[in-house]
Structure 1
Amino acid sequence: MTGTVTVRWFAAAGEAAGRPEESLEVDGATTTRALLARAVDAHGPGLARVLPACSVLVDGQLDEHRTRVLAPGVTVDVLPPFAGG
Structure 2
Amino acid sequence: MQVIRVHYWAAARSAAGVAEEDVDVPGPVTLADLRADLVRRHPESDRLADVIKVCSVVIGDRPVSSSDPGSVLVEPGDTVEFLPPFAGG
Indicate the TM-score class for this superposition, using the shorter chain for normalisation: 0.7 to 0.9
Matches within 5 A, 1:65-80: 65-66=68-69, 67-80=71-84
Match of 1:17 in 2: 16
In structure 2, C-alpha distance between the alignment counterparts of 1:10 and 1:74, rounded to whole Å: 17
What's the Cα RMSD here? 1.4
Q: Are 1:63 and 2:45 matched, yes or no? A: no
Which portions of structure 1, spanning 4 or more consecutive aligned residues, are displaced by more than 4 angstroms?
Answer: none
Letter in 2 for 1:7: V
Paired residue secondary structure (1:81): coil
- Structure 1 pair 29–5 and aligned structure 2 pair: CA distance change class (3 A): closer
Alignment length (residue pairs): 84
Between Structure 1 and Structure 2, the one with more strand by share is: 2
- Kept after mapping to 2: 8 A contact 1:28/1:69: no
Unaligned 5+ runs, structure 2: none
Match of 2:53 in 1: 52
In structure 2, C-alpha distance between the alignment counterparts of 1:43 and 1:70, rounded to whole Å: 20
What fraction of aligned residue pairs are identical, expressed as a percent? 39
Aligned-pair CA distance for 1:83: 1.2
- Kept after mapping to 2: 8 A contact 1:31/1:68: yes
Paired residue secondary structure (1:72): coil
In structure 1, C-alpha distance between the alignment counterparts of 2:38 and 2:27, rounded to whole Å: 18
> TM-score scaled to structure 1, two decimals?
0.86
